[in-house]
Amino acid sequence: MSLTPDPVPASEPGSGPGSVSDVVTDHDRGIHGYHHEKQEHLKRLRRIEGQIRGLQRMVDEDVYCIDILTQVSASTKALQSFALQLLEEHLRHCVADAALKGGDEIDAKVKEATRAIARMLRT
């Protein structure tokens, strides 16, 4: 389960092997950081979806408020845990790919990740 970028040399004529400009990353191929764990993520999201449906059922059945709030807390924690895992994969994959390529893209990816972290902290 490697979350590090998988650079592959491009086949452009005239590019020297090993140079930064000849590296094609997973991101270039349209593969996102979570791609390798996609099925596990979908499984987790289905579990969270079940928790949310459980909340609906609890409200429908007039369950005691504190019991519902306990379930809300568990659902929130599950979503936060999922978000943290996704963020880690983004850093290991997308940000690492940008760093490998160099240039202005790394600054954009770091800013993007920083904003995502700020949004997570507000919740």
**pLDDT higher than 80, residue 106:** yes
Q: Whose structure tokens read 């400009």? A: 21
At residue 110, φ and ψ (nearest 5 deg) are: -65, -45
Which residues, including other chains, have CB under 8 Å from residue 79's CB and lie 6 or more apart? 48
**pLDDT higher than 90, residue 85:** yes
Which of these ranges, 18-27, 54-63, 69-78, has the smallest mean pLDDT?
A: 18-27
Q: What is the pLDDT of residue 37?
A: 84
Q: What is the pLDDT of residue 16?
A: 46
Q: What is the pLDDT of residue 32?
A: 66
Domain boundaries along the sequence of the chain: 8-45+82-122
Distance of CA 105 to the CA centre of its chain: 18
Mean pLDDT, range 14-32, rounded to an integer: 50
CB contact at 8 A, 27 and 93: yes
pTM of the model: 0.67
Alpha-carbon gap, residue 55 to 62, rounded angstroms:
11
Domain 8-45+82-122 has CATH 1.10.287: no
